[in-house]
Amino acid sequence: MEKLVIALGGNALQAEGKPATAQAQLEVVEETAAYIADIIEKGYEVVVAHGNGPQVGRIVLQNEYATPVSPAMPFDVCGAMSQGYIGYHIQQGLTKILRARGNKKEVVTVVTQVLVDKNDPKFKSPSKPIGPFYTEDEAKAIAAETGYTMKEDAGRGWRRVVASPMPIAIEELNAVKCLVDNGFITVTVGGGGIPVIRNDKGELVGTAAVIDKDLASEKLAEDLDADALVILTAVEKVSINYKKPNQKDLDTLSVAEAKEYMAQGHFAPGSMLPKIEAALKFVESKPGRRAVITSLDKAADALEGLAGTTLR
C-alpha cells in the first residue's frame, strides 16, 4: 500500500467568492473530503496536511478588533486555533463521506508544533501571505496604519505577509507515526505547524510566524517515509510563463528542469515556488519517491499519471 502525504491548499478549505463563515467552510471541506475519500478507496494510505493562510489571518484580525473587550492572543496561539478548527472540519467532513460509503476508518487531528531556528534569516524578510485579499490602495492604507508588511500575491491582489521560517523538526512526530501505523487517517502539521523555537533552557516557545505548509508537508512526508507527496492547489498543472500568451503546462518535470525554471523566475514566491521547492526536496531525498502537484478535483487521476504535474 502506497503511503501519501496530501497537502491541501486554501481552495480546498474556503471557496473564492463565498462567505468565510464556519458553515460555508464546512461545506467546502465536505466537497474536498469526497476527493480524499476517492483516493482512500483506491487503496492508498493517506495522511492529511493543510494550509491556514486565510483562516489564521482572519483569526488574527478578530483578535485585534476585539482588544477593547478581550486581550488579543499572540500569533502562535492564533495558529493553534486555526489548526484545531480546520482539523475539526476535516474530521467531520471526511468521516461523513466515509461513513456514507461504508468505510469505518477514523479521522483524528494532532495539534502539531514544528521547530524552527530562531536565527532563521526569513524572520527578517516576511514572505508568507495570510488573511484576505485587498486592493493596492487598501493594502497601502493598512500598512500605513498598522505597520504590517503588505505584498502583491501572484496577481490575485494584496495581502499581509509574515515571516515563514524553514521547518526543522515535527515535535509530535512519534504520536503521528503511532496513529498512522494503527490505521488512523491523521490530520497534522496544519498550517505548516505551530512554529516554535527553543529558548535558553531548551524549552519550546511559540513564535510569530507561519511555516509554509508545503515545506512542512515535505518534512512530514520524509519523516513518515511516504512514497509520494501530493500538493493540491488551484491549478491542474504547473506552468511556465504563467498567465502569458506563451503559457506552457507541464505533465512531468525533472529535477534539472525544475531547477532551471526556478532560476529563470517562472514560479511566484509565496505561491507556486514553495510547492516546487517542496516537491524537489522530497524527490531528491530518496530514490523512487515522487511528488504530484495538481488541483483537488484531479488528484486521483494525477496519482495514476493521467493529470497534474509529476516530479520524479
Give the catalytic positions in this structure: 10-11, 128, 213, 275
Q: What are residue 163's phi and psi, to 5 degrees?
A: -60, 145
Residues in the chain: 312
Q: Map residue 7 onto helix, strand or coil.
A: strand
- The crossing angle, in degrees rounded to 10, of helices 213-223 and 272-285 is 10
Q: What is the DSSP letter of 198?
A: E
Residues linked to residue 151 through DSSP beta bridges, in sequence order: 159
Handedness of CA 132, 133, 139, 143 (dihedral sign): positive
Helical spans, DSSP H, in 21-154: 22-41, 53-65, 75-100, 136-146
**Angstrom distance (rounded) from CA 186 to CA 95:** 12
Residue 240 is placed in which grid cell?
Answer: 511556465
Residue 93 is placed in which grid cell?
Answer: 467532513
Instruction: Say if strands 128-134 and 107-109 run parallel, antiparallel, or are unpaired.
Output: unpaired
* Cα three-residue angle 214-220-223, rounded to 5 degrees: 145
Instruction: Say if strands 149-152 and 194-198 run parallel, antiparallel, or are unpaired.
Output: unpaired
Residue 157 is placed in which grid cell?
Answer: 491582489
How many C-beta atoms surround the C-beta of residue 11 within 10 A? 18
